[in-house]
A and B are shown apart, each in its own frame.
Chain A
Amino acid sequence: MKFDDYIYDLSSPGRTGVDLPEPDVPPTPIPEEFLREDLPLPELSLPQVTRHYLRLSQKNYAVDKGFYPLGSCTMKYNPKVNEWAVRLPGFANIHPLQHPHTVQGAMGLMYELQEMIGEIAGFDAVSLQPAAGAHGELTGVLIMRAAQLARGETQRHKVLVPDSAHGTNPASTSMAGFTAVEIPSDKDGNVHIEALKAALDDEVIGIMITNPNTLGLFESNIVEVCELVHEAGGLVYGDGANLNAIVGIVRPGDLGIDVMHFNLHKTFSTPHGGGGPGSGPVGVTAELAPFLPGPIVALNEAEDAYIWHYPEKSIGRIKSFYGNFGVMVRAYAYIKMHGAEGLRRVSETAVLNANYLQARLLQMGDYPVPYGHRFCKHETVAQGKIAGAEDVRTLDIAKRLIDYDFHPPTIYFPLIVHEALMIEPTETEDKETIDAFLDALDKIADEARENPDLLHEAPHHAPVRRLDEVRAARHPILIRLPSAKAASER
């Protein structure tokens, strides 16, 4: 499969795909100064356009086409019934400015979703506003700060972030105007307790912690971490990125976490391969509930009606209207479809799949697993350091996996593991698929030793060959203008 022409290159002067009707209102001339000589739009027939975009879509890789073990992204299969639900006219055809009396069903869904995810993670109140995970982080940090300011603690400005954290944690801290302080991990991949103690003082807003962490490991010190931070007057932010490993098994709120975001698009199966839209609701303890961004949905029991509610000390709006509603409907459908028992089985199977994958990697021995002495949770982190193939790097292995028709894992993250290959199979994959992926990794290790250039030049069978990422970063071309050929024919 080759890369096709750009749609501009297929253009033919005068060709058209639609017949516009005669205007049924009196024409008004466009003022002279707004007229232009040339409008470089492609001119094509309807079948040409259909084929062009269908062919492009077929070159895409998607979880509906194959295994997508992109670590930290929870690329599980997205049930199609979610899509049916979100297209119901009562959800699809409403407007955010409609009177609440006319959208009680949609508001009821939001209310129940607030309640359900609050129960799942052990929080007293939830706001569905944030648009995605990092947006939830920013919201959470602002809530923590607002609560401390309300106590008169104006000196706090530091947020502690473990060195295994997602880069969004320090980024959210900076964006909120605070200082990120890095905390190292210990040899088992947990937060280093002594380093944490040394960093805690009355200038600390709190800690941002991901559990399971990005090494795919459960933070076994989590309760102690929460206690230490609380003793110092700080608050604990839970990054819910890896919630898929623990649903129905442990509740972050019960562990001592004060505020956490959910990634509805990951844990609760809404499509996000193309970058979204996501949804990053934030759950908080009762103490922090007054600071949540509004509006949230409340139940007016006297009138038996759902109403928009602005928490009394709210940090304010952080998104237009009510958040990404379509994602909420899909997540609601997914939660209802599974029920409490089903959700627990989701997490158990996700963890089982990842541990099977890790155990076979350890058995193969070609790819070191630096924390392989522990059971992992929903994902495992290996290294693209194949003995006997020292000039092959993780990037080459990832590109070669494309030739075997697999989406590569996340690479070079977490930063504390050299040449990282971060693999998250999710619960929706069967054993045969995981075995096929591991067999490909096994073959690639042999290839790396026998014919390293096969890997250096990979992929060989993809629509495009190895992309020059360095040149793209140094000299980006962000707009593709019509080619000279197409322009000269116009």
Chain B
Amino acid sequence: MTLKYDPNVKYAKTDEWARVEGDLVVVGISDYAQDQLSDIVYVELPEVGAQVSAGDVVGTVESVKAAADLMTPVSGEIVEVNEALDDSPELLNEDPYGAWIFKVKPSDLAELDDLMTAAEYEAYNATREH
């Protein structure tokens, strides 16, 4: 099974992806992350209206194997969360780049430059394989 890497998003070391849509940044988790977690059973969504800084823990993704912190790759205000995940957390397994988790109104778009490209992220994951 080959993991997918989306060239249109930037990646954090903590396996979130970020995509610019208009004046918002949309955030989800990578194919690698969902594959490592296996079947996701619960997503604790961030709070709409919260002011967050890049690297803050804003939620949790829980699978049958483990619970992982969800971090925001950019600073700003959380303006929307994907409530469909409340009833269907498996969307993150089925379509990791389609199923977004939250949207941020970014305070500093330059933070995206600190994230990895798809190629860099793929190379980074290769070093993590024990």
Contact = CB atoms under 8 A, between A and B. Distances in A.
B130 A383 contact: yes
A305 interface: no
A473 B43 CA distance: 12
A418 B36 CA distance: 8
A415 B130 contact: no
A397 B41 CA distance: 22
Contact of A474 (B1, B65, B89): B89
B39 interface: yes
B129 A412 contact: no
Interface string A472-484: 0110000000000
B66 interface: yes
B121 interface: no
Contacts, number: 30
Contact of B129 (A390, A418, A474): A418
B126 interface: no
Contacts of B39: 469-470, 473
Given A370-B130, A473-B42, A415 B89 contact: no
B115 to A, nearest CB: 20
Contacts of A469: 39, 64
B41 A474 contact: yes
B64 A470 contact: yes
A214 to B, nearest CB: 14
A368 B129 CA distance: 12
A416 B36 CA distance: 11
Nearest to A475: B41
A417 interface: yes
Interface string B108-130: 00000000000000000000011
A320 B89 CA distance: 40
Interface in B71-125: 89-90
Contact of A417 (B41, B64, B130): B130
B126 to A, nearest CB: 13
A188 to B, nearest CB: 13
A473 B130 contact: no
Interface residues of B, number: 14
Interface residues of A, number: 17
A393 B129 CA distance: 15
A205 to B, nearest CB: 19
Given A391-B1, A412-B65, A418 B130 contact: yes
A469 B41 CA distance: 10
A43 to B, nearest CB: 38
Interface in A380-432: 383, 390-391, 393, 395, 412, 415-418
Nearest to A412: B65
A416 B129 CA distance: 10
Nearest to A469: B64
A3 to B, nearest CB: 21
B41 A473 contact: yes
Contacts of A412: 65-66
A395 B36 CA distance: 13
A210 B67 CA distance: 21
Given A370-B130, A391-B1, A474-B89, A415 B41 contact: no
Nearest to B67: A167
A391 B35 CA distance: 12
Nearest to B62: A473
Contacts of A418: 36, 129-130
A395 B63 CA distance: 14
Interface in A60-102: none
Nearest to A368: B130
B66 A415 contact: yes
Chain B CB count within 10 A is highest, among A383, A390, A469, for A469
Contacts of A395: 38
Interface in B7-53: 36, 38-39, 41-42
Nearest to A179: B57
A474 B39 CA distance: 10
Contacts of A390: 1
Interface in A139-161: none
A393 B1 CA distance: 12
A88 B46 CA distance: 55
Interface string A455-485: 0000000000000011001100000000000
A473 B1 contact: no
Nearest to B93: A470
A470 B41 contact: yes
Nearest to B130: A370
Q: Which one of B36, B41, B42, B129 has the greatest number of beta carbons of chain A within 10 Å?
A: B41
B31 to A, nearest CB: 15
A439 B89 CA distance: 39
A473 B64 CA distance: 7
9 contacts: A416-B130, A418-B130, A469-B39, A469-B64, A470-B41, A470-B90, A473-B42, A474-B41, A474-B90
Interface of A: 167, 368, 370, 383, 390-391, 393, 395, 412, 415-418, 469-470, 473-474
Given A417-B130, A470-B39, 8 more contacts: A391-B1, A393-B38, A395-B38, A418-B129, A470-B41, A473-B42, A474-B41, A474-B90
Closest 8 CB pairs of A and B: A473-B41, A470-B39, A370-B130, A412-B65, A469-B64, A474-B41, A418-B130, A417-B130
